[in-house]
Amino acid sequence: MGKTAMEERPPGREEVSFQVDRVSPGERVLSFSGSLTVHTVGGLLPRLREFWTTENPAGILVDVSGLRKVDTAGALFFRELEGESRKRSLPFAYRGASGLLEGILGMVPPEPDVLPVPPARHPGLVEEIGKGTVAFFRDFVRVTGFVGDLTLAIGSCLVRPGSVRWGDVLHYMRRAGVDGLPIVGLISLLLGLIMAFMSSLQLRQFGANLYVASLVGIAMVKELGPMMTAILVAGRSGSAYAAEIGTMIVHEEVDALRTMGFEPVRFLTVPKVIAAVLVVPLLTLYADFFGVAGGLVVGVTGLDLTVHTYLRETMASIGLFDVFSSLAKSLVFAVIIAGIGCQRGFQAGRSAEGVGASTTSAVVAAIFLIIVADSAFAILFHYIG
């Protein structure tokens, strides 16, 4: 039997002794005596690492009968020893443990066995398509149910107009309409400038500068005016509707409305829809005007056209049917923007991340439905016209 002694004498009266006894070719007895506390345990850590490096034990027996004092730092030391033995699949046991030591060890739970982490499973293409399809139909069912609730709420308000919160309607009209005038006007003016400039580069070669007015007027009134206005309103107001209702969901204000007997769709959604229906057509006419004005700037400054000639050609190319069809589009776009914004708000999760996701979804879904509706209108008006 061999014996190796390692002793640590820290400053002060506390000291700890640590020795290794080789009782057999494989079994090692680690004997501790003295005080194993926060003041002495640090000196044993290098010696413990040296033990694992130089020895090749087949089993560990820890003799703690000589310890007079142990604190939680000492218990952590023993748990570290247990954990290393467990990793090496070595038998481990204590000898001479007193009730005090067992109590201290009980305060420090043993390190749990680390289970192997299974490799991440990446779903295949078919599974992804299936999940996307299921999510689409679930969303379709939720949107359909919301459309039904909104239709009933609007029908009830048409029967009893006094039940509508007209103060909120005016508030949302100001936010969606008046506050949006600068950005809608600027974007439309720039669109008119760009279209007139780019088309003039081609038409000028054939001496057809005059037709720039017709091209800009038809494009703005029939397509770009309603669509760009709707996209801008969706980005400004649709996202705001979703964020507002989503925040109310987080703060449980919608639940409070239901508790007090208010119908949330009627109380929160109807004023927003009415405001959008009243404001978006006016913004569309406003956008059409600035789009034509942008083309007029290019026509007068770069194409040698007079203001009278340009406006006369524009009015000759645009009929009342074009204007009314543009307004009809804007009405449908307004319902889509307000409706989908509120619907996504009611579907928001009860967290900041959920509100952000619902706001993003409201804008993306609104723009997608606007383009789909515009495509349907293009086919419809082609056959009607």
- Write out pLDDT tens, residues 125-172: 888 888 889 988 888 888 888 888 888 888 888 888 888 888 889 999
Domain residue extents for the chain: 2-107, 151-384
**Residues 6 or more apart from 355 whose CB is under 8 A from it?**
242, 243, 246, 247, 249, 250, 348, 349
The answer to whether 212 and 299 are in contact (CB under 8 A) is: yes
The answer to whether 55 and 28 are in contact (CB under 8 A) is: yes
Kindly state the percentage of the chain with pLDDT values over 90.
25
Phi and psi angles of residue 121, each rounded to the nearest 5 degrees, phi first = -95, 125
Give the 3-state secondary structure of residue 95. Answer: strand
pLDDT at 350 over 90: no
CA dist list (Å): 9 to 32, 51, 279, 285:
13, 19, 85, 91
- Spatial separation of the C-alpha atoms in residues 140 and 365, rounded to whole Å: 12
- Spatial separation of the C-alpha atoms in residues 214 and 194, rounded to whole Å: 14
* Confidence bin at 327 (pLDDT 50/70/90): very high
For range 110-120, the mean pLDDT: 53
- Spatial separation of the C-alpha atoms in residues 176 and 284, rounded to whole Å: 12
| CATH topology classification for 2-107 | Transcription Regulator spoIIAA (3.30.750)
Give the 3-state secondary structure of residue 112. Answer: coil
pLDDT at 104 over 50: yes
CA angle 383, 151, 165 (to 5 degrees): 120
The answer to whether 31 and 3 are in contact (CB under 8 A) is: no
Record the tokens describing residue 342, joined without a space: 């509120």
Give the 3-state secondary structure of residue 44. Answer: helix
Count of beta carbons in the 10 Å neighbourhood of residue 107? 10
For range 5-9, the mean pLDDT: 41
The answer to whether 184 and 283 are in contact (CB under 8 A) is: yes
pLDDT reported for residue 281: 93
Whole-model pTM? 0.65
- Spatial separation of the C-alpha atoms in residues 220 and 227, rounded to whole Å: 9
The answer to whether 300 and 200 are in contact (CB under 8 A) is: no
CA-closest candidate to residue 213, choices 289, 317, 304: 317
Q: Tokens 């936010």 identify what position?
A: 175
For range 288-304, the mean pLDDT: 88
Count of beta carbons in the 10 Å neighbourhood of residue 278? 17
Q: Which helix (H) or strand (E) is 3 found in, with range?
A: strand 2-8
For range 92-107, the mean pLDDT: 75
Give the distance between the most distant pair of CA atoms in the chain.
116
Q: Tokens 């928001």 identify what position?
A: 348
pLDDT reported for residue 11: 45
pLDDT reported for residue 201: 85
pLDDT at 8 over 80: no
First to last CA, the chain: 108
- Spatial separation of the C-alpha atoms in residues 143 and 336, rounded to whole Å: 11
Q: Tokens 């194409």 identify what position?
A: 303
Give the 3-state secondary structure of residue 193. Answer: helix
- Spatial separation of the C-alpha atoms in residues 27 and 21, rounded to whole Å: 9
Higher pLDDT among residues 26 and 327, named by residue: 327
